[in-house]
Amino acid sequence: MLAFIVDSDSLLRLFAFASVVCLVGIWEILAPRRPLLMSKRLRWTNNWLIGLLNSILLPAIFPVLAVGAAILARDNNWGLFNTLGLAPIISIPLFIVLFDLVIYWQHRVYHRVPLLWRLHRMHHCDADFDVSTGIRFHPLSIILSMVIKLLLVFSLGLGWFPVSGRSDLLSLVLPAITLGTGLAAILSRMVRSSLLEVLGEDFVRTARAKGVSEGIVVWRHALRNALLPVVTLTGLQLGALLGGAVI
């Protein structure tokens, strides 16, 4: 039975996903909650093709996905949960909570970091809202999300990145990501607001009037001045890290 699940992982996931989508899609057609702004045929064609592309890219890029990695970890007794020997009634709910918490903060970071928001806003810029909106994600966003999921599975299942201890440099990976993700969101917002303010200054308008390219204006002139408050904030964050992080 386990071998069948491993070999048919993608097929089983596709069957479960397609069943739920078909039921919800038929329900929306029969009893729509709101009038549509665009043709459902056009939107569904675009959104489902995007979802199909993502479904093809993931197994083509990653040799093993999250389910296969978790089963592999259990068979070889790898990772934190397997080392502790927790009963399934404890380990499964605990992993679900931790997994959901990580995905929640991933979503928050997608909204906070401008570069990630450029990828994630593809999901939010859908003119209408229905079941197909749930698969409308930029391919790079899906790939990054899978990297985060595999990282979580590896840390709790495969033990590639220890969740505690100080045995080697790999022990610093997860603490660094945990501490750096929240700070990176704050810094990115600070860079954006400061840069927007500097771009309205007289010296920027003068540079543009002289015919200087936009790239040079932003990277050589505006960004240099916009980084002044960012450097100040970085110093405060560094002090907070040294004073509050237990290593």
Name the residue with tokens 């043709």.
39
**DSSP-based three-state secondary structure for 239:** helix
Per-residue pLDDT in tens (0 to 9) along the chain, 247 residues: 555 555 565 666 667 777 877 888 888 888 877 777 888 888 888 888 888 888 888 777 766 666 666 666 666 666 666 666 667 677 777 777 887 888 888 888 888 888 888 888 888 888 788 778 878 888 888 888 888 877 777 666 555 555 556 666 666 766 676 667 667 767 777 888 888 888 888 888 888 888 888 888 888 888 888 888 888 777 777 766 766 565 5
pTM higher than 0.95 for the full model? no
Rounded Cα–Cα distance for residues 135 and 141 (Å): 11
Rounded Cα–Cα distance for residues 247 and 242 (Å): 9
Closest CA to 81 of 67, 68, 92, 96: 92
DSSP 128: S
> 183 Cβ partners below 8 Å, 6+ apart?
237, 241
